[in-house]
Amino acid sequence: MRELLQSFAVIIMKEFFRLCAGLKIDWKRLIFAGAFMTTAGVILQMFLLNDPLDMWPLSLPIANVSDESLNSIRSFNQTFSEGRVKRLELISADVPIVPPDSSLKLNLSIPVMPYIGTVPTGRSRRRKKEGNVDNMSKVIPPPNPPRIHVPYRLQKFIWSLTPNEALVYAKKEIDHAPEVIDDPDLYAPLFRNMSVFKRSYELMELILKVYIYSDGSRPIFHVPHLNGIYASEGWFMRLMEGNRQFVTRDPEKAHLFYLPYSMRQLELKLYVPGSHQIKPLAIFLRDYVNMIAGKYPFWNRTHGTDHFLVACHDWVGNL
């Protein structure tokens, strides 16, 4: 049977080469011959190979395994399983189950990982012409700080709270903050109450949500200035707009509202050098705030107390 199939395959190959060698190719016969050869190859594999066809692609050579190797593998698997069970028990024990209307005061201490990233410093370049925008593609942003692991049940509980309920929960937690005597990441003389600061910072990373307005024309809005002595406002804008931990797209879930404008870009765009007149800049910001207040209900709801902007410039106090 094997010799018959091999001779049949040779005849098919000769017919294929004869068709291809001619000046005019019958494509119907060529396609038929290709399909027939594929079928013949499958049949040959089924009869000639040691493994069945459905298992052959996944089959690997089996080597002789000693009893000592098998025992070491079993020991490793048992150790890994026990360690995994212990971790799951620790996580389950640390996670509180608190209903939203409960008066239970939680005392959760989330470890704060030190921020190891540094902002690269670069030489400030002189503007070649007025209104030049920095090339953001040439500036390398600092790495993201390490994320703190939070149990899923606690996250789910926080997500179920409204912004006001979340702030009430944070206040209770801060009032009953665990005492911190010595923390290697904090310098105690700088803080009035290091325990309260640490707990409030942990809750800020867990709860805080910021909504960023998409309104505003470029480059004054949404275009950060990343070089020079005014670069801090630009880096804040860029990192905040690219953040997923604090930024929310639902304004109803936000605790704060960010007006993403750049004071440096505002100066480059609207200020007339040598005029000593910054009133046009103040009018521009006033009109922007009036537009936000008329378009959205969030400014008038709190008279702007939960809205903020970030600016690094000598004229900010006069606007």
Neighbours of 134 (CB within 10 A): 21
Has residue 260 been placed in a domain?
Answer: yes
pLDDT for position 74: 56
Percent of the chain topping pLDDT 90? 32
Q: Closest Cα partner for 212 from 164, 170, 244?
A: 244
Q: Cβ(157)–Cβ(98) under 8 Å?
A: yes
Provide the residue range defining the domain that includes 11.
2-48
The rounded distance, in Å, linking the Cα atoms of 244 and 91 is 25
How far apart are alpha carbons 162 and 168 in whole angstroms?
A: 10
Cis preceding-peptide flag for 141 (omega within 30 of 0): no
Tens of pLDDT along 161-170?
899 999 999 9
The whole-number average pLDDT for the span 268-275 is 86
Q: Which residue has the higher pLDDT, 179 or 103?
A: 179
Q: What is the pLDDT of residue 11?
A: 78
Q: Kindly state whether residues 243 and 192 are assigned to the same domain.
A: no
User: Is residue 75 one of the residues assigned to a domain?
Assistant: no
Residues 236 and 172 reside in one and the same domain: no
Average predicted confidence (pLDDT) for the chain: 74
| pLDDT for the residue numbered 313 | 77
Say which residue, 75 or 60, is predicted with more confidence.
75
- More confident site: 192 or 105: 192
pLDDT at 143 over 90: no
Where residue 151 falls among pLDDT bands split at 50, 70, 90?
confident
* Cβ proximity of 142 and 118 under 8 Å: yes
Shared domain check, 199 and 114: yes
Mean pLDDT lowest for which of 139-143, 148-152, 163-167, 252-256? 139-143
The residues near 210 (Cβ < 8 Å, ≥ 6 apart) are 240, 246, 247, 248, 254, 255, 256, 257, 258
| The predicted structure's pLDDT at residue 304 | 93
Q: Is the pLDDT of residue 40 over 60?
A: yes
The pLDDT of 27-45, averaged and rounded, is 77
Does the structure show a pLDDT above 80 at 78?
A: no
Question: Do 164 and 180 belong together in one domain?
Answer: yes
Look at residues 207, 239, 259 and tell me which one is the last residue of a structural domain: 207
Is the pLDDT confidence value at 226 over 50?
yes
pLDDT band, residue 289 (cuts 50/70/90) = very high
In a domain, 232, yes or no: yes
Contact 40, 9 (CB under 8 A): yes
Question: Of 136, 126, 158, 114, which is closest to residue 239 (Cα–Cα)?
Answer: 136
For residues 197 and 243, membership in a common domain is answered with no
Question: Locate tokens 């509202």: which residue?
Answer: 257
Q: b/e string for 81-115 if b means 16 or more Cβ within 10 A?
A: eeeeeeeeeeeeeebeeeeeeeeeeeebebebeee
Q: Once rounded to an integer, what is the mean pLDDT over residues 55-60?
A: 43
The pLDDT > 70 percentage for the chain reads: 61
pLDDT in tens, 208-219: 999 999 999 889
318 occurs within a structural domain: yes
Residue 125 lies in a domain: no
| Spatial CA neighbour of 251 closest among 310, 156, 163 | 163
The pLDDT, as a whole number, for residue 235 is 93
Q: Please check whether residues 316 and 270 belong to one and the same domain.
A: yes
